[in-house]
Chain A
Amino acid sequence: MASSASSRSKSQKTAGPAVFTRDQELHAYREMLQIRRFEEKAGQMYGMGLIGGFCHLYIGQEAVVVGMQMASIEGDQIITGYRDHGHMLVCGMDPKGVMAELTGRRGGLSKGKGGSMHMFSKEKHFYGGHGIVGAQVSLGTGLAFANHYRGNGNASMIYFGDGAANQGQVYESFNMAELWKLPAVYIIENNRYAMGTSVSRASAQSDFSKRGLSFNIPGEQVDGMDVRAVREAGLKALTWCREGKGPYILEMQTYRYRGHSMSDPAKYRSKEEVQKMREEHDPIEQVRARLLREKFATEDELKAIDAKVRAIVAEAAEFATNDPEPDPSELWTDILV
């Protein structure tokens, strides 16, 4: 990706993204690693039959949510589709609660009633977790509407895929967001495929940063494998929103390593393509290399971070395996208040 695509990205036209401090690099490393390890564990638990139904892993795309979160301020909302585990972890939702929701247990964040695709946290300003492709775009615009209405200085971060970007309600939302100058950052996670359909087979305009042009919404393409580039673009977009200038579009050029969901054999792309992304553009490896090169951390210190992260994930898995199923009476609760 980065090679062909990021050469077109505005953030790359200058000298490259602003450098991170040691603390920022370490923070980004830890956060991305936690998502990676969590997702690997979820994949394994799916294999053991502990997680059912659909389970969409975020492996490969970690820099997008981590960089955006580093650019946001308290109170900014997040909304996304079904590939949502990373988004929840990065906004501080309890890994135990997320994993127990994946296994459908009572300690899950939705009491076991929502599953992988449907989780929420009012406290962390996380508005789901949505199974219907594109629905989160209008909903997220509504979150931005509420910020504008309240004049609270917050913006909403609306994540959706390259496939979702073709849904009609996206453009209805774009029009109203610009018309009313709503503080909405539309983050298109272009991982090149919507299920088995590559961008070129589904999109007449495959430069997603241009998708708001006819509404006068500015946009840019960002190297979504580089957490620094993501944060920098995120800051610019969020500032634009906070200054009352309306919405902003960020096309994050990223990649998913795993199949669309657990039962996708991913025959629509070559192994070499996946291998190349992993070896040359992995978001975590990039930070790791910089940490070592800049002598921000030693191998041993990074190993210690890895061990800590693994322990958190193991604890979450343990909890999610042993926590009981919901009480049968829960079938009838939470339908109306």
Chain B
Amino acid sequence: MAVNVLMPALSPTMEQGKLAKWVKKVGDTVKSGDVLAEIETDKALMEVEAVDEGVLAAILIPDGTENVAVNTPIAVIAAEGESADAAPVTASKPVSPELATQKPAAAVSASDAPTAPVVAIAAASDVPPGTPMVAMTVREALRDAMAEEMRADEDVFIMGEEVAEYQGAYKITQGLLQEFGARRVIDTPITEHGFAGIGVGAAMTGLKPIVEFMTFNFAMQAIDQIINSAAKTLYMSGGQMGCPIVFRGPNGAAARVAAQHSQDYAAWYSQIPGLKVVAPYTAADFKGLMKSAIRDPNPIIFLENEILYGQTFDVPQMDDYTVPIGKARIHRTGKDVTLVSWSIGMTYAIKAADELAKEGIEAEIIDLRTIRPMDVDTIIASVQKTGRCVTVEEGWPQSGVGAEIAARVMERAFDWLDAPVVRVTGKDVPMPYAANLEKLALPNVGEVIQAAKAVLYR
């Protein structure tokens, strides 16, 4: 029986791609494992292999076609001697829009993942008025920040798994090996405990390592060196010996990667005296805070987010744009309720505020940006104005960052509160794999709206 070859999804978030080139032509015999065609995704050029055996009876989507939706039939494979007509879709028939949008029940569409187009942001106070803005992704902002600091300071280097020749598992270090060479852009074996320790040791001598963890899940292998060595040395040496190091990488849930790869470490590291913990949301903040982190003489935990990497924001075009560590940013002003968030949590807070505005509720959004030291003053000032506070994070509730914020607000603004602080968090379970359960485990915009209304008694 003839079978259709469908446009494959080649990454967890791919919805469409370009059919770059057919490797086989009509009439060719194909065996399973043969490369049929090359497909371009946003990240790479990939090969599509045949699963079914037979003869390539028809090509439905020609070379060079852009934006071919996942699951669109692209070719027909027929048994030897059989015609292509036996297949359900023929070459002449245009791809129907239903086919292009049809998705299996369990597929997670990228639109479920919070997407933020270019977001207008109140200019940081240290940006001179009239500074031109340039749109860039979080990925590019991080790369530029590291490259600028490496150009400026010979003591800065980066090490980690796949950071050099592969150009970064998530392409954050793209081009760095080419510019700075293998002495300063160093591929390590898969030995997190060892290379974190090597980074700390080098930092003790005054070098300024950037240590990339492929994801922060793997930094658990190295957490002893981060806490027992990096965070405590200055104190234990009576101030003689510090540790100017940046530990960075994606933190928190990505998409469908299950319990061992989906953990948020903001609360973990935020408990440790001797560390600073940064978790930005916008590309401008990623850039400015990364530059500050590299210059900071202390060990910095720099928490990124895989889902934010591809999102685009305006970044001030300046020779040396930095953002101070430890300063929150008012993302949106409002008088009715304070929403406090950071990193990916901001995407929920922003959508919720838009919805609340439609109902006449003006939410003020604070983007914390740094978890430790926490800019409590900014939170308190806002709560003194609104009298109500909701925190939003993907991490777990118990001893979470939201719990800390609630305690600080209670300690310093109890008399201003018109309702108890409410936390919106990830559910108190390991991250499940199934698409429906994963969605339930993460916070959502509805929960933020509900929490805001609850503190407003609406």
Residues in A lying within 8 Å of B, measured CB to CB? 40-41, 43-44, 46-50, 52-54, 59, 101, 103-105, 108, 110, 112-118, 130-134, 163-164, 166-168, 194-197, 201-203, 257-259, 262-263, 265, 267-268, 278, 321, 325-326, 328, 330-332, 335
Least CB separation from B9: chain A residue: A49
Task: Check B125 for interface membership: any CB of A closer than 8 A.
Answer: no
Q: Are A328 and B190 in contact (CB under 8 A)?
A: no
Interface locus among B255-263, B342-350, B365-373: B255-263
Measured between beta carbons, the chain A residues less than 8 angstroms from B71 are 48-49
Our pick among A49, A163, A166, A168 for the contact of B104 (Cβ within 8 Å) is: A49
- Asked if A48 contacts B9 (CB within 8 A), the reply is yes
- Shortest distance from the beta carbon of B255 to any chain A beta carbon, whole Å: 6
Distance in Å: Cβ of A262 to nearest Cβ of chain B: 6
Q: Is the CB of A163 within 8 A of B258?
A: no
**B-chain residues with CB within 8 Å of residue A53 when the two chains form the complex:** 12, 254-258, 261, 433
Complex partner residue of A321 from B104, B258, B261, CB under 8 angstroms: B104
Q: How far is the CA of A291 from the CA of B187 in the complex (A)?
A: 45
* Structural contact, B189 and A166, CB atoms closer than 8 A: yes
For the complex of A and B, 3 pairs with smallest distance between CB atoms: A47-B8, A115-B433, A52-B256
How long is the Cα–Cα vector from A105 to B189 in the complex, in angstroms? Answer: 35
Instruction: Return chain B residues, CB-CB under 8 Å to A325.
Output: 105-106, 434-437
Q: Is the CB of B257 within 8 A of A167?
A: no
B446 contacts A by Cβ under 8 Å: no
**A196 to B164 CA separation, bound complex (whole angstroms):** 10
Complex Cα gap A167–B48 (Å): 33
- Closest approach, in angstroms, between the C-beta of A314 and any C-beta of chain B? 11
Decide yes or no whether B147 CB sits under 8 A from chain A. no
| Cα separation A313 to B169 with both chains bound (whole Å) | 32
Q: How far is the CA of A257 from the CA of B189 in the complex (A)?
A: 22
Contact residues in B for A335 (Cβ distance below 8 Å): 428-430
- The CA-CA distance from A166 to B428 in the complex, in Å, is 34
Q: Which of B1-38 contact A (CB under 8 A)?
A: 6-12, 32-33
Chain A residues with CB under 8 Å of B254's CB are 53
A53 to B51, CA, bound (A): 21
Contacting A at CB under 8 A, from B149-198, are: 161-162, 165-166, 169, 187, 189-191, 193-194
What residues of A have a CB within 8 angstroms of the CB of B193 in the complex? 167-168
When the two chains form their complex, are residues A134 and B44 in contact, meaning their CB atoms are under 8 A apart?
no
Contact present for A130 and B104 (CB under 8 Å): no
In the complex, the chain B residue whose C-beta lies closest to that of A101 is B433
**Which chain B residues border A196 with CB–CB below 8 Å?**
162, 165-166
Q: How far is the CA of A40 from the CA of B162 in the complex (A)?
A: 27
A116: B residues at CB distance < 8 A: 433
Residues of A within 8 A of B46 (CB): 259, 263, 265
- Across the interface, which residues of B come within 8 angstroms of A101, CB to CB? 433
B10 touches A47 (CB 8 A): yes
Contact B221 A132, beta carbon cutoff 8 Å = yes
Contact B189 A163 (CB under 8 A): yes
Contact of A112 among B6, B9, B432 (CB under 8 A): B432
Q: Which of B45, B187, B256 has the most C-beta atoms of chain A within 10 angstroms of its own C-beta?
A: B256
Contact of B433 among A118, A130, A202 (CB under 8 A): A118
Task: Name the distance in Å between A115's Cβ and chain B's nearest Cβ.
Answer: 3
A336 CA to B390 CA, complexed, in Å: 29
Q: Given the complex, which residues of A lie within 8 Å of B429, measured CB to CB?
A: 331-332, 335
Count B interface residues, CB 8 Å: 61
Cβ distance A193 to chain B, nearest Cβ, rounded Å: 11
Known: A48-B71, A325-B434. 4 other contacts (CB 8 A): A40-B51, A118-B260, A168-B193, A330-B432
Contact between A132 and B218, CB atoms less than 8 A apart: yes
How close is A224's CB to chain B, nearest CB, in angstroms? 19
B70 close to A (CB within 8 Å) = yes
Which B residues have a C-beta under 8 Å from some C-beta of A?
6-12, 32-33, 41, 43-49, 51, 70-71, 103-108, 161-162, 165-166, 169, 187, 189-191, 193-194, 217-218, 220-221, 254-261, 427-430, 432-437, 440-441
Cross-chain contact B187 with A201 (CB below 8 angstroms): yes
Check A167–B191 contact: CB distance below 8 A. Answer: yes
Whether A105 lies near B45 (C-beta < 8 A) is: no
> Please, how many angstroms separate the alpha-carbon atoms of A44 and B36 in the complex?
13
Query: Contacts A46-B9, A48-B6 given: A195-B261 contact, CB under 8 Å?
Result: no
Task: Kindly report which residue of chain B lies nearest to residue A263, judged by CB atoms.
Answer: B11
Please tell me if the beta carbons of B433 and A112 are within 8 angstroms of each other in the complex: yes
Measured CB to CB, the closest approach of chain A to B250, in angstroms, equals: 14
Q: How far is A203 from B434 in the complex, measured between Cα atoms in Å?
A: 37
* B45 in contact with A202 (CB, 8 Å): no
**Bound Cα distance A228, B194 (Å):** 38
Cross-interface CB contact of A130 among B11, B169, B260, cutoff 8 Å: B260
Which chain A residues lie closer than 8 Å to B432 at the CB level? 112-113, 326, 330-331
Contact A104 B433 (CB under 8 A): yes
* A-B contact list, 27 entries, CB within 8 Å: A46-B9, A47-B6, A48-B71, A49-B71, A49-B104, A50-B107, A101-B433, A105-B106, A113-B434, A118-B258, A131-B257, A133-B190, A168-B193, A196-B162, A197-B165, A201-B187, A202-B190, A203-B189, A257-B33, A262-B10, A263-B10, A263-B11, A263-B12, A321-B104, A325-B437, A330-B437, A335-B429
Asked whether, in the complex, the Cβ of B44 is within 8 Å of the Cβ of A263, the reply is: yes
Q: Which residues of B contact A130 (CB under 8 A)?
A: 260
Bound-complex Cα distance A112 to B259 (A): 12
User: Is the pair B258, A132 in contact by a Cβ cutoff of 8 Å?
Assistant: no
Which residues of chain A are within 8 angstroms of B45 by Cβ–Cβ distance?
265
C-alpha gap A133/B433 in the complex (Å): 19
Q: Judging by beta carbons under 8 Å apart, are B49 and A43 in contact?
A: yes
C-alpha spacing A243/B190, complex, angstroms: 34
Residues of B within 8 A of A194 (CB): 189-190
| Cβ-defined contact, A197 with B260, below 8 A | no
CB atoms of B217 and A132 under 8 A apart: yes
Please tell me if the beta carbons of B44 and A265 are within 8 angstroms of each other in the complex.
Answer: yes
B9 lies within 8 A of A195 (CB): no
CB-contact partner of B11 in A118, A262, A278, under 8 A: A262
Check if B51 sits within 8 Å of A44, measured CB to CB.
yes
B437 to chain A, nearest CB (A): 5
B437 contacts A113, CB within 8 Å? yes
Quote the shortest CB–CB distance from B226 to chain A (angstroms). Answer: 15
List of B residues within 8 angstroms of A332 by Cβ: 427, 429
With both beta carbons as reference points, the residue of chain A lying nearest to B440 in the complex is identified as A331
The distance in angstroms between the C-alpha atoms of A325 and B148, with both chains bound, is 48
Distance between Cα atoms of A12 and B456 in the complex (Å): 77
- A54–B215 alpha-carbon span in the complex (Å): 14
Residues of A contacting B47 with CB < 8 Å? 265
> Shortest distance in angstroms between A336's beta carbon and chain B's nearest beta carbon?
11
What is the CB-to-nearest-CB distance from A216 to chain B, in angstroms, rounded to a whole number? 23
C-alpha spacing A333/B176, complex, angstroms = 46
Which residues of chain B are within 8 angstroms of A167 by Cβ–Cβ distance? 190-191, 193, 221
